Amino acid sequence: YVERFRLEARAVARLDDPNIVRAYDIDNEGNIHYIVMEYVNGDDLHQIISKIGGLDFSTAADYIAQAALGLQHAHEQGLVHRDIKPANFIVDQSQTVKMLDLGLAKLVEDDITSLTLANDENVLGTADYLAPEQALNSHGADARADIYSLGCTFYFVLAGRPPFSEGTISERLLKHQSEQPESLFVLRSDLPPSLGRICERMMAKKPEDRYQTAGELATVLSDWL
């Protein structure tokens, strides 16, 4: 656990982006190990949606565009997050979205000696937001798996619930691989078709059918806004 903690600290320490919670130091006091991080005064997207339900379309697009910018920076630094979900994006008082929790992040150049691989952990992430290919092999997942998970997060902030909210963990993982979620156009009848198509492409079952980079996605959402 301490080694995984240090791995997370290494992952966060290499990132410096306004859309990612910054880490300043790592230390320990006896057996208590800690990371000194930026304090963000706000709520995460899961808390926000639990309180108010689905967001208006412009706010949702803005939040996901900011999240994509943070993801792009992480990907450029050789990191795949692997646990993208609403609870891992916090919105501060100035409406800036910041990504956090890189505890499952994969350092691309360290993949051969990955700590999670050494511990034989094959499925990493959160079932409601897990890309189909990540459920089969978390260690082979690339940046496009994060884009799928961000698409599920987009779905959540629009619909007020995850794409597949019923069934056991195994059943939900299978649904991500073999079923389409209930259409957002049914859940939000006034959803602009162009915005719905962006979310659908993010959640394409095959990685090659999604946006290929988070930066590309951020540009598409910014243009839509």
Catalytic residue list = 83
Give Cβ neighbours of residue 174 (< 8 Å, ≥ 6 apart).
Answer: none
Structure tokens at 84: 């993208």
Torsion of CA 166, 203, 155, 81, to 10 degrees: 90
Which contiguous run of DSSP H or E holds residue 162? none
Q: Find the distance separating the first CA and the last CA of the chain, reported in whole Å.
A: 42
What DSSP designation does 183 have? P
> SS3 for 89?
strand
